[in-house]
């Protein structure tokens, strides 16, 4: 949760307001789906509500303490960048290990030989579809 608040602090005010508008529209759609019985779980609504609350909290902090908000925003941006770099490094270390493990576990298989053409004994699907019997309407019975 703390990282989500830091991500919100890293954004500028206009971006947070834009995301709030989008999340408001999304909440409306989710509430509508819930009332119509199209949505089963509430997890998405709950997480969206919490994310909106975090963004509103950050906006309120900036409103109350504009001088400290700028410093917090810079710190949050630096922290988010550091997290991304460490994640990239970890992914880069894991990627070669995964490739090696996949190469060892999966030996190469020879390529398949081209399949032979269908023999004349097997009718093609086009001919069977074209020779369907045609139904004629019955004459109306008298009576």
pLDDT per residue as tens digits for the range 46-104: 999 999 999 999 999 989 988 777 777 777 777 777 877 877 777 777 766 666 655 56
Single out the residue of 29, 59, 21, 58 nearest to residue 45, CA to CA.
Answer: 29
In a domain, 103, yes or no: no
In a domain, 128, yes or no: no
pLDDT per residue as tens digits for the range 54-67: 999 999 998 998 87
For the ranges 47-51, 122-126, 136-140, the one whose mean pLDDT is highest: 47-51
Range of the domain at 70: 2-98
In a domain, 36, yes or no: yes
In a domain, 67, yes or no: yes
In a domain, 132, yes or no: no
In a domain, 52, yes or no: yes
pTM score of the predicted model: 0.50
Exposed / middle / buried, residue 58 (Cβ in 10 Å: 0-12, 13-18, 19+):
buried
The count of domains in the chain is 1
Instruction: State the pLDDT at residue 49.
Output: 93
Single out the residue of 100, 82, 101 nearest to residue 90, CA to CA.
Answer: 82
In a domain, 54, yes or no: yes
Cα distance between residue 76 and residue 11, in whole Å: 9
In a domain, 142, yes or no: no
């Amino acid at each position: 949760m703390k990282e989500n608040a830091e991500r919100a602090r890293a954004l500028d005010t206009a971006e947070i307001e834009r995301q709030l508008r989008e999340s408001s529209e999304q909440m409306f759609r989710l509430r509508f789906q819930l009332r119509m019985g199209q949505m089963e779980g509430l997890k998405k609504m709950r997480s969206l509500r919490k994310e909106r609350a975090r963004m509103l909290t950050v906006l309120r902090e900036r409103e109350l303490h504009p001088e400290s908000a700028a410093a917090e925003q810079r710190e949050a941006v630096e922290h988010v960048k550091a997290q991304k770099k460490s994640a990239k490094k970890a992914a880069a270390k894991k990627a070669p290990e995964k490739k090696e493990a996949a190469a060892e576990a999966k030996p190469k298989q020879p390529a398949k030989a081209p399949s032979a053409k269908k023999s004349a004994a097997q009718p093609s699907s086009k001919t069977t579809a074209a020779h369907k019997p045609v139904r004629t309407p019955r004459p109306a019975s008298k009576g």
